[in-house]
Amino acid sequence: METVISTTNIKHNYLEIAHFVGKDVRCCAVVKGNAYGIGLRNVAAALLPECKDFLVADISEALEVFNVASEANLSDNVNIYVLHGPDSVDNALLGIKRRFIFVINAEAQFLLLVAALKAASDKIPTPRMILYVEVGMVRTGFSAVELSSFTAKYSNQNHDLNLLPLILGIECIGLMGHMSVSEVHSHPLNEVQLERFKSAVSLVQNVWNSVVMQHTFANSFGVLLGTEYHFSMVRVGVLLYSDIASHPSLNLSESVIKISANILQKVILDEDAVVGYGGNLILKRGSKIITAECGYWYGWYEKERRGFCMCMGHKIHMISNAMQLAIFDASSMSDADFLSAQSVNLIDDVMKISNLHERLAHEMLCKIGRLESKKIYI
């Protein structure tokens, strides 16, 4: 199997979305999960220097983006957001020294930043954090009650005076929220979650009124809901890597990922024959059979593509899938196309990732990085 990934088209998609939201809104590239399985290093390198904001899952991914930026002499010009926050004092200190922005999901993570400041033996950059607020997913982040308690506790009037120099040494740059149904444009929960996020913004700004903050709420599909959802920064993930959504004002590239498998054998049956495992599939004389080098050992399962692929412009059906071999009924192909075919396309401009249910398409992207296939970046 072979996977061809166009980082050129990923960059095109990023620039399209950045232009769509306008120059007053920052466009953050979501490269967590190895850039959705595409390859974090390659994607980050392709997006620099135009992209100055990257969101990763943890400290190891943050360091990877930092190293890519450093190799391009751009590490001072990028913001790297660590979604899962600090998980230890040592990692907090490591991130602070590299000016990572920690997403703080709970008071305990904030206290790790405080402890890191205490532990610093020399002068370090001002720690930066962004508070993650829970607006209706019950996943991570401060609830409305927790946020109110946290901001009151650490306001200038109420917090422990012994912590004053340390707390004032941490810069809160804003709030982050996440939408749960933004792919459904008309879903009422979009507006409900937006209002919850606005309430959180008002609460924090009323308590910490001396701090100028920038906030981020919209994910990929949230970008398409309108400027009210954009705030200071949008976070774009799946739209960079797939054709899963469209908008009349966006000219996103469909050709980001192509996966193909070599054809090992082609047969035209000279009599009726049992095909594949199980002994219960019989194809008629004259049927055209293709055996390709893919299967579940490579991480490719029949259900992933609903059993279809493309070959020489023809949609052909997978009729048997094994560890490293898949059999396709290519009877719809002309004799000339059948004889000249060298490979089958598992994902291409016709068999798109968006042919799948949207949630499965997200999963498919993340699995691409773990497929046992040769990867070629163009």
Binding residues for substrate, by number, are: 139, 323
Bind-site residues: 139, 323
The dihedrals phi and psi of 245, each to the nearest 5 degrees, come to -140, 160
Burial (CB count <10 Å: 0-12, 13-18, 19+), residue 44? buried
* Listed residue (332, 373, 354, 333) closest to 221, CA to CA: 354
The rounded distance, in Å, linking the Cα atoms of 326 and 22 is 47
The rounded distance, in Å, linking the Cα atoms of 244 and 357 is 9
**DSSP H or E stretch at residue 115:** helix 107-119
**Tokens 């997913």 appear where?**
137
Q: Could you tell me which residues are beta bridge partners of residue 54?
A: 29, 80
* Listed residue (219, 236, 232, 228) closest to 177, CA to CA: 219
Residue 372 is classified by DSSP as S
Residue 192 is classified by DSSP as H
> Residue 327 has which token pair?
């059999």
Reduce the secondary structure of 125-162 to three states and give it as a string. CCCEEEEEECCCCCCCCECHHHHHHHHHHCCCCCCCHH
- Angle (CA) 242 17 8, round 5°: 55
The rounded distance, in Å, linking the Cα atoms of 62 and 11 is 20
